[in-house]
Amino acid sequence: MGMMKDLNQHLKRRGARWHYVRRVPKEYEFFDKRGTVYKSLKTESLELARAKRDALVEADDQYWLSVVMSGDMSTEVALKTYASAQRRALAKGFVYTPAQDLADIATLAEIMKRLKSIPTDPVPDKKEADAVLGLVNRPSVKISQAMNLYCEEIAVGDLLGKSEEQKKSWRKVKMRALKNFIKINGDLPMHEITRDHARKYYNWWAGRVAPKQGIKPLTANSANRDIGNIRKLYREFWIYEGDENRQNPFRNLSFAKQPSKDVPCYTDEFVGTRFLEPGVFNGLNADATLLVYAMIETGCRPSELSNILPENIILDAEVPYIQIRSRSDRQLKASASSRDIPLVGCALEAFKRAPHGFPRYRDKGNILSKAIMDGLRVRGLQPTPDHRLYSLRHSFEKRMLEAGLDYGLRCLLMGHKNSRPSYGDGGSMTYRRDELLKISHPIHSNFVENLPKL
């Protein structure tokens, strides 16, 4: 699929809903007599319409290509042609059914109805006939091709609202599972995958979860994630193909869940004497330095701070605060993550010097993590190898607990779901600030003087 001239190319709004409108290219007019392709996308969402438009553009491109190709079509082209035939049959009001199955199960009345739906002016439309009469053979699709189809088309709804970084992370774990499966079983066609292949994949993971003595085991959670991703791919692919009842060979294959390894907290003394030591982060870039100090007194996740926008940093209010919000191009971890946090102590001083946020690390979580972890390591700010940047978040939560802050307020400030009945809105910003002042670390003037400025 070529690059779009603009974001809304081939899209037209009719009332509240979007439609796919595309003129047949001149080089294909000799066989495609539609003139202009016009298809309702059945959505009022522009973002979803764009995603559906992209799929239809590619399907039409591959259909046109398949017609002019000579010899055998590639699997990718065959797959797109088959999918295109399914959509065209559905547009006529029929479920795509291979010709052999039609001969076995369809009544004469249904076959006649299908024949009558085929345009015949001036001549019978071959692509419509192929779709309605089931004359396009189902292609043999390898698991690697199925995964690409899943990521690019089947699971498009899962990616709505995700940032580019989140999309890459989502795809990365899918591709890791695929790579491991192919390593063990090869790039098998989807219809050839059996329970034996699934067990072989499971047993390979069992050897890594419980390896021979002297080899470091991998976690059961990693194994379950990989197996689960292949299981879901198999299920969603065949549902997409219209074979909802196909038995999944990866069913009921998983390992007992293991508790996550606890990330240790920093002690109050360590934070107060080491992290808040004036100039301790000299040499580290200003964005990373200020983000660490913002995290100490807000308990935010690193990704929440690195992606905060200027409009969500309110410094001119009676109680300065930040807003953690989901955006159309970036999801939060959970709905409870949306919250307002007053700024106190070193976090307030950090945001005074970074009123526009931390643009250097916006949508660059992996780079941020590496930069700060390297900074902590070389400065001796890891009391144990298990201490992470996230340890500051856990320290914030522990301080609130030990100071006796209200459970609901703790959940709200951490962005956790409150398991108890909720009454009210969590208290005013003044109340929240006063509660946080009970646990904030004292800072000195020479600390403030050594802070960098963005």
pLDDT digits (tens, 9 = 90+) for 47-58: 888 888 887 887
pLDDT digits (tens, 9 = 90+) for 167-208: 888 899 999 999 999 999 999 999 999 999 999 999 999 998
CATH tag, 268-449: 1.10.443.10
The residues spanned by each domain of the chain are 11-132, 143-240, 268-449
How far apart are the C-alpha atoms of 150 and 234, rounded to whole Å? Answer: 10
pLDDT digits (tens, 9 = 90+) for 201-226: 999 999 988 887 777 788 888 999 99
Which two structure tokens, joined as six digits, stand for 98?
A: 């291979």
Give the least confident one: 33-37, 79-83, 228-232, 237-241: 79-83
Q: What is the mean pLDDT of residues 322-334?
A: 79
pTM of the model: 0.58
